[in-house]
Amino acid sequence: MKTFKYSHSGLLIAAVAFICSFSSCRKDLLNQLPTTKLAASEFWQTEDDATTALMGAYDQARFVFDREYYLDGHGEYTRTRGVSHSSSASALPTTNSYYGPSGYGDKFDNYFEGLYGLVNRANYVIENVNKMLPTASASSLPGLEAVIGEARLLRGIAYFRLISMWGDVPITNKVPTAITDADAVERAPIKVVRDSILADFNYAVEKLPAAPPAVGRAAKPAALSFRGKLNLYWGSWNKNGWPELEGFVPSASEATNAFRAANDDFKSVINDFGLTLFRNGDPGSIDLLGKADILPNYFYLFTPDANGDKEMIMTFTHGGIGTNQGEELVRDFGSRANEFAQGWMLPRYEIADRYQLTTTGDFAPALKPSSNRTLANGAINPNSYLNRDYRMKSSIQWDGEVCVGTYAYKVTGWVLFQYKTYSGTVPGTNIAYNNAASTNSGYIFRKFVRNTAGLGRSEGNYNWPIMRLADVYLMYAEANNEITNGAPDALAVDVVNRVRHRGNLPALAGAKTSGYQNFFDAIEQERIVELYAEGQRGFDLRRWRKLEQVWGGIGGAGVWRIDTYGANQTRYYQNATDRDFQRAYIFRIPPSERDRNPNLTQNIPWR
C-alpha cells in the first residue's frame, strides 16, 4: 500500500513539473497585460504619449468651458432663453430655465461634477507624467514639464471656477486607486483651495513656453492671466466680503496683496509677450445703418477669422463639418434665418443704452421705448443708432438692421430684422424679414453669428476664448485702480482706451479716469460692452456684490426687463427675500453627494 501511494504522488509531481515546463502554467495568470487594449503601464513612454493624454484633459476642459456664454444669463443684459446642447455636449445644465438672473444656485450639480471630471483628468496626466520625469532625457524634459504645466493650469482653472461658485470645495489631487476613494472627502477652506490653485498656476507660469506649441493649447500668457484673474477675484472677495460663505473672514491686507499680485501678472501679459488686440485693435470700417456689407473688426473677432490670433490667449478649438466637434454659436445666437438656428441667446433691451456715441465718447440720450418708428431717440427708430460704438452694430441687431441669411450651406440673401414682423418680404424689395420670433426685447444678436455660408448650425469651427487680451487689459485697469485707489497709472488708462478704440470711441475724458469710483465705472462699462455675452457678467456682479444694486434689494419691487415697444416682459427679484439674494451669491453643494457623504457640509443659504 505504502509503495503504491508514493509512486502515485511521484507520478503526480512529475506530471505537474512536465506541464509547468512545457505549457502555459505561469505566474500572475490573472494579472497579464491586455492584448486588445493598451495598458496604462505600457502607455506612458514618450513625450507624444504625454501630449496625447493631455488632450484628454483639454477635451474635458472644453466640455466644461466652451459654452460660457449661457452663463451670461445670470447677468442683466443677456437672456439665455434656453440651450441647444444635450448632457453629452457640455457639463452645463440642459434645462432652459436655469440661466435667469435669479433662482439658479441649486441648478449646477452636474456642472460641479463636470468640473471635478476635469480635475480628475488633469490629475491623471500630472501624476503619470511626473513618474516619467526621473528617467526622461534632458531633451524631452522641458516638453514633459510643459505638459504637466498645462494640466496643472487646467486643473487650477477648474478649481478656480469651483471656488467662484461654491466657495469651500474638497481638494482631490490624486488619481483614485479605489472606487471609494472620494467617498469621505471634506471641503477645504477657500483659502487652502486658493493656495493649491496658486501652486498649480505658479508651476504653469514657470514651465510653460512663451508661445503655445499649437493653436488651442496654453502658453505662459494664459497661466499668467489666470493667476492674475484668481488674484483679482481673491482681492474682490476679501475687499467686498462673501457673507454667504461660512468661515470666510475678509481681510483688507489680503485684498491689497492680491490686487498687487494681479496687477503685476496682467502687466507682464500686456508688456512681455508682444500680444496685440485683434487686427491691432483698429476699429475697422462700418456700414451705413441698415446695411451690413462692411462690419467692424469687433464682429470678426467672434468669427473663425480670429482663430489663432494673438488676442486669443487661451481658446478651445472646434472642428467643422463631420467632426462632431463643432461649436453651436450660430445655433444659439442666430435666428431661423441663419442655418435654421434657434435663437436661444437674446440681447435684453437694457444693453442698448450701454453703447456710447463715437462722437462724444459718452452715453447717448436714453432710448425711448415706443412703437413710433420716427420718434426722436425712439427705440425702433433706426436713426437713434447713428454714431454708436462700433461694437453695437457688431453685437446686436435692432429694427432695420440686416444680416446674411444662410440655409443648407448656401447664402439665401439679406434678411431684415423688424421686431414682431417675422414673415414675408420688405415691401418693394426681395429682402425677407428675419424670422426671429424668439426675441422678447426687440433685439437679436449679431455677435457670434457667421455672415458666411458653408457650415451648419452645429458645425462651427470658432475657437472659443476663455481668456483674451481685452479682458486682461480691463482686469489690469481694475487691479491698478484698486491698488492706486483711483490714481491709475498711464498704462491702466491706456489699455482701457485701447479697448475703447476698438469701438471707435475716443479716449476716456480725464474726469473718468481719476477717482476710484469714476474709473471703476468706466472699467465696468467697458467690461459690459466688450465682454458682452461671454459669460462674465454674473461672476462680476457677484464678486462686486452688486446684485442688490442692480435688482433693487430685499423686499423691493424688483426690476422689469422690457422691450423696444415699452412692454414689460419679465420681472426679477420682486419681493425678494434676503435668502433669494444669498442663494444667488453662492451655489448649493449637490445634495445627492451630501446624502452619501456626511462629511460634506452645505453652504449657509442652502441648509
Partner 1 sequence: MLRPWDISIFLDGAYSPPRKNIGDLRNKGVELDVKWNERVGELSYGVNLNASYNQNRLEKWNEYLGRGTTFLNMPYNFVYTYVDRGIAQTWQDIYNATPQGAKPGDLLFEDLNGDGRIDGNDRKATTNLRTRPTTNAAVNLFAAWKGIDLAVFFTGATGRKDYWVNIYNDLTISNQRAAITWDIYENPWRTDNRTGIWPRMGGLDDNNENTTFWLDDMSYVRLKNIQLGYSVPAFIVNKFFAKTLRFAFSAENLATFTKYRGLDPEKQNSANDVYPLNKSYNLSILLGF
Rounded least distance, CB 34 to partner 1, Å: 15
The helix/strand/coil state of 146 is helix
Contact 519, 513 (CB under 8 A): yes
CA-wise closest residue to 446 among 341, 371, 376, 520: 341
Give yes or no for residue 247 binding partner 1 (CB under 8 A). Answer: no
Give yes or no for residue 121 binding partner 1 (CB under 8 A). Answer: yes
The region of 109-117, 125-133, 272-280, 559-567 touching partner 1 under the rule CB under 8 A is 109-117
Q: Which of 65, 70, 77, 112 binds partner 1 (CB under 8 A)?
A: 112
Please report how the helices 220-240 and 190-207 are oriented relative to each other, as an axis angle in degrees rounded to 10: 160
Is the CB of 109 or the CB of 305 nearer to partner 1? 109
Rounded least distance, CB 176 to partner 1, Å: 6
Give yes or no for residue 83 binding partner 1 (CB under 8 A). Answer: no
Rounded least distance, CB 437 to partner 1, Å: 9
The region of 214-222, 424-432, 450-458, 591-599 touching partner 1 under the rule CB under 8 A is 591-599
Contact 75, 526 (CB under 8 A): no
The region of 195-203, 301-309, 413-421, 584-592 touching partner 1 under the rule CB under 8 A is 584-592
Rounded least distance, CB 499 to partner 1, Å: 36
Q: Where are the alpha helices (DSSP H) in 451-570?
A: 469-484, 490-502, 516-530, 537-543, 547-551
The helix/strand/coil state of 447 is coil
* Cα(5)–Cα(2) distance, integer angstroms: 5
Give yes or no for residue 195 binding partner 1 (CB under 8 A). Answer: no
Distances (CA, A) of 434 to 135, 332, 404, 416: 62, 15, 10, 5
Q: Cell 469714476 identifies what position? A: 518
Is the CB of 109 or the CB of 548 nearer to partner 1? 109
Give yes or no for residue 125 binding partner 1 (CB under 8 A). Answer: no
Cell numbers found for residue 381: 427708430
Is the CB of 148 or the CB of 379 nearer to partner 1? 148
Rounded least distance, CB 83 to partner 1, Å: 17
* Cα(492)–Cα(512) distance, integer angstroms: 12
The helix/strand/coil state of 403 is strand
The DSSP bridge partners found for residue 78 are: 347
* Cα(245)–Cα(586) distance, integer angstroms: 7
Is the CB of 60 or the CB of 480 nearer to partner 1? 60
CA-wise closest residue to 112 among 587, 598, 580, 607: 587
Go through 407-438 and write b for each residue having 16 or more CB atoms within 10 A of its CB, e for each that does not: eeeeeeebbbbbbeebeeebeeeeebbbbbeb
Q: Which of 53, 91, 466, 475 binds partner 1 (CB under 8 A)?
A: 91
Residues whose CB falls within 8 Å of the CB of residue 582, separated by 6 or more in sequence, listed in order = 243, 244, 604, 605
Rounded least distance, CB 160 to partner 1, Å: 16
Give yes or no for residue 262 binding partner 1 (CB under 8 A). Answer: no
Rounded least distance, CB 423 to partner 1, Å: 15
Rounded least distance, CB 369 to partner 1, Å: 22
Q: Hey, what amino acid is at 135?
A: T
Q: Which of 44, 100, 113, 373 binds partner 1 (CB under 8 A)?
A: 113
Q: Which of 593, 601, 602, 604 binds partner 1 (CB under 8 A)?
A: 593
Give yes or no for residue 524 binding partner 1 (CB under 8 A). Answer: no
Residues whose CB falls within 8 Å of the CB of residue 164, separated by 6 or more in sequence, listed in order = 233, 539, 542, 543
Is the CB of 180 or the CB of 568 nearer to partner 1? 180
Rounded least distance, CB 495 to partner 1, Å: 37
Is the CB of 120 or the CB of 297 nearer to partner 1? 120
Is the CB of 115 or the CB of 477 nearer to partner 1? 115
Q: Is 253 left (phi over 0), alpha (psi -120 to 50) or beta?
A: alpha
Residues in contact with partner 1, counted by CB under 8 A, come to a total of 29
Q: Is 75 left (phi over 0), alpha (psi -120 to 50) or beta?
A: beta
Give yes or no for residue 595 binding partner 1 (CB under 8 A). Answer: yes
Which class for 324: exposed (0-12), middle (13-18), buried (19 or more C-beta within 10 A)? exposed
Distances (CA, A) of 200 to 119, 196, 261: 12, 6, 16
Q: Which of residues 150-189 bind partner 1 (CB under 8 A)?
A: 170, 172, 176, 179-183, 185
Q: Which of residues 407-426 bind partner 1 (CB under 8 A)?
A: none
Give yes or no for residue 489 binding partner 1 (CB under 8 A). Answer: no
Rounded least distance, CB 527 to partner 1, Å: 30
Is the CB of 429 or the CB of 592 nearer to partner 1? 592
Q: Which of 334, 369, 590, 605 binds partner 1 (CB under 8 A)?
A: 590
Strand order in the sheet with 410-416: 402-407, 410-416, 432-433
Q: Which of residues 23-82 bind partner 1 (CB under 8 A)?
A: 60
Rounded least distance, CB 92 to partner 1, Å: 13
Cell numbers found for residue 132: 516619467
Cell numbers found for residue 228: 492674475
Rounded least distance, CB 16 to partner 1, Å: 34
- Determine the distance from the C-alpha atom of residue 325 to the mean position of all C-alpha atoms in its chain, rounded to a whole number: 17
The helix/strand/coil state of 467 is strand
Q: Which of residues 265-324 bind partner 1 (CB under 8 A)?
A: none
Rounded least distance, CB 178 to partner 1, Å: 10
Question: By the criterion CB under 8 A, which residues form the site for partner 1?
Answer: 60, 91, 109, 112-118, 120-121, 124, 170, 172, 176, 179-183, 185, 590-593, 595-597
